[in-house]
C-alpha cells in the first residue's frame, strides 16, 4: 500500500528537502528553505557524540573551547541525556568531567522549572532587580545584523547561519539586547526560538530571564574586556566602533542600572506578577484532517512522536515497537509563530531516521495535531495512543484536544528519560545542584571542581 498524498514522504534525500519539504510546509517557516548547518537525526547525533572527545572542555567559556555542540540533538531527543552523561563519564576526567555534567544538569533544571511553572515561564517569573523600562520589539538593525558593532553583528549572523551560538555569545547578546538596548527579554527569546536548532521553551525562556534578572538575583552583563578575553580578541582587535561595552563593571553598573544592584533576589520564581499573568490557552484551531490511509493492518495501539522524542529510543516508541507512529508538523501553531526552515528540516531528518529504523509504519503529516492523532488512531482501529510526556503547554493542550476528538481512545503517557531522580520543588540552580550533585557525578566532586559561579 502506498502512502496517501497528505502524508509527507519519509524517504526524501537531503538534496530534495528544501524543495519538497519547503513546498509542503509553505507558510510555516521564515526565510528560504535550506538544509540545517548540521544534519538532524539519531545517526548524525550519535556520530557527533562519538566524535566529541571533550579534551579542553575546561576552556568552555572561551569561544575556542571544545564544547560539545550536542544541544540540538539533545533538544530533540535524537540522543539521550543519559547516553551523553555516560559518554562524558567515559571520555572526561576530574574537573572537566564534573563541569560538563553540571552543565548538562542546567538543561534538566530548566525542564523541571517548566514542569513546575508551565506557561508562566513566558512571563516575568520575578520582578526585575533594577528599574527596568523595556520596549517590546526587536530593533530592525539588530535583526538585520547592522548595529555597527562587529561583535553583535557577528552573533546575529552566526545565529541565523548556523542555528547555534556558543553559550557565552548567547549571554552577551542577551545582555546587549536587554540592558544596552532596553528591549524586553521576550523579543530576544522569540528571535532565538525562530533560529536556534536547539531552541526550546525551557532553556531559552529561562536563560533570557536569568540574564534579565526576572529569574535570578541580579542582571547578567559583561564588559569589553570580557568579550575580548573570551573571544580571543577576534572582533575587538580591529574594531573601530565606539564600544558601548567599554568600562569597568562598576562604571557599567552605574550607567545601565542607575546605581547599585541588590545582592539577593527578593522574589520567588513562582511569585509572578498578576498583571502579567499567562494568557489563557487558545483552543486549537482544528481543521478536519484529510483521510489517513493506513500502510499496514489494523493495530491495537498507535504512537504519537513529537519534537522532543525524535529517536527510536523514545520511551513510547520503545514500549510499542510494532505500533504505527505519527509525527505532525503543527500547522496552527507554526502558522502563528513560524521558525526558520532549517529547524523544520532538522526535525524531518529525525523522523526520517525513525521511519528507516522501525519495522512498523511511521507517518509524518502537516495539520492540527489533536485532530490528526484522533483520525490516525481511528484509521488504524487503535484503542490506545502512546506518547512520551513533555512539559510544554502545547503538550497538555494537544492531549486535551485528542480526548475531545476521540473520547474512546485510551491515552498512555510514558515518562521521558531523566538525568536525576529529584522530584521536589525547584527555585535556583545552585540549590538544585546541591541536591543532585552526587547522583549526577556518581560520587563526590573532584577536589578541584568549581563550587558555583558562572553558568
Ligand X SMILES: Cc1cc2nc3c(=O)[nH]c(=O)nc-3n(C[C@H](O)[C@H](O)[C@H](O)COP(=O)(O)OP(=O)(O)OC[C@H]3O[C@@H](n4cnc5c(N)ncnc54)[C@H](O)[C@@H]3O)c2cc1C
Under the criterion CB under 6 A, does residue 392 sit at the interface with ligand X? no
Taking the complex as a whole, the smallest distance from the CB of residue 52 to ligand X amounts, in Å, to 8
For the record, the C-alpha cell of 221 comes out as 552583563
Phi-psi region of 378 (alpha: psi -120 to 50; beta: other; left: phi over 0): alpha
Q: Between residues 188 and 367, which has the closer beta carbon with respect to ligand X?
A: 188
| CA nearest to 17, candidates 37, 38, 33, 41 | 33
Q: Which is nearer to ligand X, 186 or 331 (CB)?
A: 186
To the nearest 10 degrees (0 to 180), the angle between helices 369-379 and 393-405 is 40
Determine the Cα–Cα distance for residues 448 and 351; give it in Å rounded to an integer: 42
Contact segment (CB under 6 A) with ligand X among 18-26, 198-206, 263-271, 391-399 equals 198-206
Q: Which helix (DSSP H) or strand (DSSP E) does residue 364 occupy? A: strand 362-367
- Does residue 192 interact with ligand X by CB under 6 A? yes
307 lines the binding site for ligand X (CB under 6 A): no
Q: List the one residue from 58, 170, 389, 406 that touches ligand X (CB under 6 A).
A: 170
The yes or no reply on residue 204 touching ligand X (CB under 6 A) is: yes
Residues touching ligand X, count (CB under 6 A): 29
- Determine if 455 is a binding residue for ligand X (CB under 6 A): yes
> What is the smallest separation between the CB atom of 81 and ligand X, expressed in angstroms?
8
Among 174, 177, 212, 419, binds ligand X (CB under 6 A): 174
310 binding ligand X? (CB under 6 A): no
Query: Is 198 among the residues that bind ligand X (CB under 6 A)?
Result: yes
Joined together, the cell numbers standing for residue 143 give 535583526
**Rule CB under 6 A: is residue 339 a binding residue for ligand X?**
no
87 binds ligand X (CB under 6 A): no
Query: Are residues 172 and 48 in contact, defined by beta-carbon separation less than 8 angstroms?
Result: no
Q: How far is the CB of 107 from ligand X (least distance, A)?
A: 4
Instruction: Confirm or reject binding of residue 116 to ligand X (CB under 6 A).
Output: no
In the complex with ligand X, which residue's Cβ is closer, 152 or 385?
Answer: 152
| Helix (H), strand (E) at residue 374 | helix 369-379
Q: Which helix (H) or strand (E) holds 325?
A: strand 325-330
How many whole angstroms separate alpha carbon 321 and alpha carbon 362?
11
Position among 124, 207, 313, 390 found at the interface with ligand X (CB under 6 A): 207
Shorter beta-carbon distance to ligand X: residue 358 or 455? 455
**Minimum distance from residue 220 beta carbon to ligand X (Å):** 8
* 199 binds ligand X, rule: CB under 6 A: yes
- Contact window for ligand X (CB under 6 A) among 35-43, 138-146, 162-170, 258-266: 162-170
Place of cell 523541571: 112
Give whichever of 200 and 330 is closer to ligand X, judged by the CB atom. Answer: 200
421-426, long-range: CB < 8 A, 24+ apart: 422/112, 425/116, 426/109, 426/112, 426/113, 426/116, 426/269
Among 25, 58, 106, 347, binds ligand X (CB under 6 A): 106
Site for ligand X in 32-71 (CB under 6 A): 60, 67-71
Q: Is 74 in the site for ligand X (CB under 6 A)?
A: yes
Residue 204 or 362 having the CB closest to ligand X: 204
Grid coordinates 527569546 are at which residue?
189
CB of 214 to ligand X, least distance (A): 13
Q: Which residues of 358-396 are buried (b: 16+ CB within 10 A; e: fewer)?
A: bebbbbbbbbbbbbbbbbbbbbbebebbbbbbbbbbbbe
Instruction: Please state the φ and ψ torsions of residue 422, each to the nearest 5 degrees.
Output: -65, 130
What minimum distance in Å lies between the beta carbon of 25 and ligand X?
21
The nearest distance, CB 99 to ligand X, in angstroms, is: 9
Output the smallest distance, CB 125 to ligand X, in A: 15
- For every residue of 395-454, DSSP letters joined together read HHHHHHHHHHH-TTPEEEEEPPP-S----S----HHHHHHHHHHHHHTSSPPTT---S--
Question: Which segment (9-17, 102-110, 232-240, 405-413) binds ligand X by CB under 6 A?
Answer: 102-110
Tell me how far apart the alpha carbons of residues 403 and 411 are, in angstroms, rounded to a whole number.
8
Strand, coil or helix: 317:
helix
The site for ligand X (CB under 6 A) is made up of 60, 67-71, 74-75, 103-104, 106-107, 110, 166-167, 170-171, 174, 192, 196, 198-200, 203-204, 207-208, 211, 455
Amino acid at each position: 500500500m502506498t502512502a496517501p498524498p497528505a502524508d509527507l514522504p519519509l524517504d526524501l534525500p537531503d538534496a530534495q528537502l528544501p524543495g519538497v519539504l519547503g513546498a509542503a510546509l509553505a507558510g510555516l517557516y521564515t526565510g528560504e528553505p535550506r538544509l540545517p548547518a548540521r544534519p538532524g537525526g539519531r545517526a548524525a547525533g550519535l556520530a557527533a557524540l562519538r566524535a566529541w572527545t571533550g579534551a579542553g572542555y575546561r576552556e568552555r567559556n572561551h569561544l575556542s573551547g571544545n564544547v560539545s555542540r550536542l544541544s540540538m540533538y539533545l533538544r530533540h531527543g535524537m540522543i539521550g541525556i543519559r547516553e551523553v552523561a555516560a559518554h562524558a563519564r567515559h571520555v572526561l576526567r576530574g574537573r572537566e568531567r564534573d563541569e560538563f555534567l553540571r552543565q548538562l544538569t542546567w538543561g534538566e533544571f530548566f525542564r523541571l522549572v517548566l514542569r513546575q511553572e508551565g506557561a508562566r515561564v513566558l512571563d516575568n517569573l520575578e520582578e526585575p532587580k533594577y528599574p527596568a523600562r523595556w520596549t517590546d520589539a526587536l530593533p530592525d538593525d539588530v535583526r538585520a545584523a547592522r548595529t555597527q558593532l562587529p561583535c553583535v553583528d557577528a552573533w546575529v549572523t552566526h545565529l541565523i547561519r548556523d542555528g547555534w551560538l556558543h553559550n557565552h555569545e548567547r549571554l552577551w547578546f542577551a545582555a546587549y539586547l536587554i540592558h544596552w538596548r532596553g528591549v524586553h527579554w521576550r523579543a530576544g527569546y522569540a528571535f532565538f526560538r525562530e533560529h536556534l536548532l536547539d531552541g526550546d521553551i525551557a532553556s531559552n525562556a529561562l536563560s533570557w530571564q536569568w540574564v534579565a534578572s526576572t529569574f535570578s538575583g541580579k542582571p547578567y552583563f559583561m564588559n569589553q574586556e570580557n568579550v575580548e578575553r573570551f573571544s580571543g580578541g577576534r572582533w575587538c582587535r580591529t574594531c573601530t566602533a565606539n564600544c558601548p561595552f567599554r568600562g569597568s563593571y562598576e562604571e557599567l553598573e552605574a550607567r545601565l542600572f542607575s546605581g547599585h544592584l541588590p545582592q539577593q533576589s527578593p522574589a520567588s520564581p513562582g511569585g509572578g506578577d498578576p498583571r502579567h499573568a499567562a494568557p489563557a490557552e487558545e483552543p486549537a484551531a482544528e481543521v478536519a484532517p484529510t483521510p489517513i490511509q493506513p500502510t499496514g493492518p489494523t493495530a491495537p495501539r498507535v504512537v504519537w512522536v513529537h519534537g522532543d522524542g525524535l529517536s527510536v529510543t523514545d520511551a513510547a516508541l520503545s514500549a510499542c515497537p510494532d505500533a504505527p507512529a505519527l509525527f505532525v508538523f503543527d500547522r496552527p501553531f507554526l502558522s502563528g509563530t513560524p521558525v526558520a526552515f532549517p529547524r523544520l528540516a532538522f526535525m524531518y531528518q529525525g523522523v526520517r531516521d525513525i521511519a528507516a529504523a522501525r519495522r512498523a509504519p511511521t507517518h509524518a503529516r502537516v495539520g492540527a495535531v489533536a485532530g490528526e492523532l484522533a483520525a490516525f488512531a481511528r484509521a488504524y482501529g487503535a484503542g490506545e495512543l502512546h506518547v512520551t510526556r513533555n512539559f510544554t503547554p502545547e503538550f497538555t493542550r494537544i492531549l486535551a484536544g485528542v480526548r475531545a476528538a476521540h473520547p474512546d481512545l485510551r491515552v498512555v503517557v510514558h515518562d521521558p528519560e531523566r538525568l536525576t531522580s529529584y522530584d521536589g520543588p525547584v527555585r535556583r540552580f545552585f540549590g538544585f545542584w546541591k541536591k543532585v550533585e552526587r547522583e549526577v557525578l556518581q560520587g563526590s566532586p573532584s577536589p578541584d571542581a568549581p563550587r558555583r559561579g558562572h553558568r
